[in-house]
Chain A
Amino acid sequence: MTLLDVQDLSVAFVRRGEAAVRAVDGVSFTVDAGQVVGLVGESGCGKSVTSLAIMGLLPRRGVELGGKAVFDGTDLFGLAPRDMRDVRGKDVAMIFQDPLSSLNPVIPIGLQVTEVLKRHRGMKGDAAGREAADLLDRVGIPDPKRRLKEYPHQLSGGMRQRALIAMAVACRPRLLIADEPTTALDVTIQAQILELLKDLVHEFGTALIMITHDLGVVAGMCDTVNVLYSGRIIETAARRPLFAAPLHPYTHGLLGSIPRLDALESEPLTPIRGSVRDALPWASGCAFQPRCDRPVEACVGAPPELDATFTGHEYRCVNPVRHSND
């Protein structure tokens, strides 16, 4: 069952006297109930803007929003701000990148957790306090009663992220968006947090949109993966086919640039040439073309359309990578 259907989402930042900056350009994807969907891409490809747009958290002024985000039958973009506030935190919640700056530094953790419970579940006083302690316990924070009285800076990085996760899942949302939830954490803590997210998704039947630039995270968690480049989805596939046989040269390059334990020491890493800045506007051809190592004439002129194999593996490339077992 489709829970969230994002159709042709586009976000442009406009400023008077300047050309509009198109951060997201016709992105479509679906999230089924209980499914983990990855949005992957490097900095500036539009993955965070996509999530903020779905949450309705982009500023009103200076932003042009197009397309639809249909959540359980209602278009979130069509909701009045008041109704959207009721959806946020209750049906759809978000986890942010930097747990320290995402918590209010001057009030105790407990107040921040109970605030959500009071807002959406109508809980009061002691009941809210007990539920908050249960939540902290559920996300693996030891001695939750004491922690509730502590301030964010008294918690470790991993515990802060756990507290934020507790706040996000406090009302059992049906969709959770995690925007690089492990970027600011140590590697060992990263694994624990991902494990926790996996457990919660499984336990509550929550769907999860995992936004990350870390392909390891994707490999460990996601059912389907959307790869973004310069504001458009360039490849969509289930996890296995994507890692086994990436069709888009960009995805192929990304996977090829990962250091491997079993590689020879003398073997250099194979990076992708250039940087995101070299992207062409999609209107004049494939945005990745200047960095691509398989360019053909058809890459320039018109933007490549999204194509699909018979197994449903979608790609936006006129000269996809061939794999011998295809």
Chain B
Amino acid sequence: MSKKTDKIDALAALSAQRSETGETLWKAAFKRLRGNPMAITGAIIIAIFLVVAVIGPFLVPYSPTATTWLGEVSESQALFPGPRAENWLGIDHQGRDEFSRMIVGAQQSLLVGVVATLFGLVFGALLGGIAGASAGLGGRIGVWIDSIIMRLMDMMLSIPGLLLAISIAAMIGQSVATVMIAVGTVQIPIFARLLRGSMIAQAQADYVLASTSLGIRKPRIVLSHIVPNSLAPVIVQVTLLLGIAIIEAAGLSYLGLGNADTTFPEWGVMLTDAQRYLSSAPRFAVFPAVAIIITALGFTLLGEALREALDPKLRR
């Protein structure tokens, strides 16, 4: 009896294993993600952040810029009304509802993070793709093109990220778009190097040799064979860099390089404002800081989990 059930169990395990291999890379990765608490935590944080950032601004109780409660605030007496029934997170130093400002700030962070990362991804992938294709298949001229692009990327990488972003922001001037471009530019060499390396590795794969042996032309091999196989690490990097972009965007706003309208709520700007009241009302700094940290943590957790799930070496 027990022997029979053992056999059935073994068969069931075998067929389960078979169904595991009978899935696409992405389906299998998703399955592994679902079983990873790190991934679930990250996904929940990101989901909450997305909902707050997208729907939140329409539901906020008060205008984030209206100085409705200015009369109750007194800087000289260090009087800032704290959390209460009508203002969940209290009143800021200019008599504005802190809760509404936090929510609208989330939208700003999401917008800047996504656009900046997209900017970095598009240009980085373009440069890295050209370099990777040239290095892998382009012959002598290809090596030249690859060298020129990658040395340029090395130069960009050698400048500390925030410093590069500050110089770019200082060059173009103060605006939200500046922050996006500055943060995105820092990411260009990261994406470029990643995609290039991945493509060069894939150019050595057997299926590339096989399609070459069938007379398929090089541009076609690059686009339909090498690039699709090189994207997995890039996608992981997008998730990881989204978190960093949000931190860097807040950093640039904190330094006063963001939106020229300083009354507009933005987590980084709120931190700048909070500086003056660190001793009297530390919560001004705590709320945006915690929000930035948790959001970045969410993206990092999901990114790391995604990397593990897609890494063939870590698969059992």
Contacts and interface: CB of A to CB of B under 8 A. Distances in A.
Interface of A: 55, 57, 60, 85-90, 93-94, 96, 98, 101-107, 111-112, 115-116, 119-120, 151, 153-154, 164, 167-168, 170
Interface in B10-57: 21-25
B211 interface: yes
Given A106-B25, A107-B228, A111-B224, A60 B214 contact: no
B132 to A, nearest CB: 16
Nearest to B207: A104
A55 B209 CA distance: 11
B213 interface: yes
A177 to B, nearest CB: 9
Contacts of B8: none
Interface stretch (B113-121, B215-223, B250-258): B215-223
B225 A87 contact: no
Contact of A88 (B25, B207, B215): B215
Interface of B: 21-25, 139, 205-207, 209-217, 220, 224-225, 228-229
Contacts of B24: 151, 153
Contact of B214 (A93, A101, A111, A153): A93
Contact of A101 (B21, B206, B224, B228): B206
Given A60-B139, A115-B220, A154-B22, A102 B214 contact: no
Contacts of B211: 104, 112, 115
A162 to B, nearest CB: 14
A88 B210 contact: no
B213 A115 contact: no
Nearest to A102: B210
Contacts of A87: 215
Given A101-B205, A105-B229, A106-B228, A89 B210 contact: no
Nearest to B143: A61
B238 to A, nearest CB: 18
27 contacts: A55-B213, A57-B213, A87-B215, A88-B212, A89-B213, A89-B215, A89-B216, A94-B210, A101-B205, A102-B206, A104-B225, A104-B228, A105-B25, A105-B207, A106-B229, A107-B224, A107-B228, A111-B224, A115-B211, A115-B214, A115-B216, A116-B214, A116-B216, A119-B220, A120-B215, A153-B24, A167-B210
Nearest to B26: A106
Contacts of B210: 94, 96, 102-103, 164, 167
B97 to A, nearest CB: 50
Contact of A168 (B25, B214, B225): B214
Contact of B217 (A96, A98, A119): A119
Given A85-B217, A119-B214, A153 B207 contact: no
B224 A98 contact: no
A105 B224 CA distance: 11
Contacts of B25: 105-106
Contacts of A112: 211
B205 A90 contact: no
A248 to B, nearest CB: 31
A277 B171 CA distance: 65
Chain A contact residues: helix, strand, loop or mixed: mixed
A153 to B, nearest CB: 6
A164 B224 CA distance: 17
Contact of B209 (A89, A96, A170): A96
A102 B216 contact: no
Contacts of B207: 101-105
Given A102-B207, A106-B25, A119-B214, 18 more contacts: A86-B215, A88-B213, A89-B215, A94-B210, A94-B213, A104-B211, A104-B224, A104-B229, A105-B25, A107-B228, A115-B220, A115-B224, A116-B214, A116-B216, A119-B215, A151-B24, A164-B210, A170-B214
A11 B215 CA distance: 22
B215 A57 contact: no
Nearest to B139: A60
A57 B206 CA distance: 12
Nearest to A113: B214
A90 B215 contact: yes
Contacts of A101: 205-207
Nearest to A116: B214
Contacts of A120: 215
Contacts of B212: 57, 88
Please name the 8 residue pairs, one residue from A and one from B, whose CB atoms are nearest each other, closest first: A89-B215, A89-B214, A88-B215, A101-B206, A102-B210, A94-B213, A104-B207, A106-B228
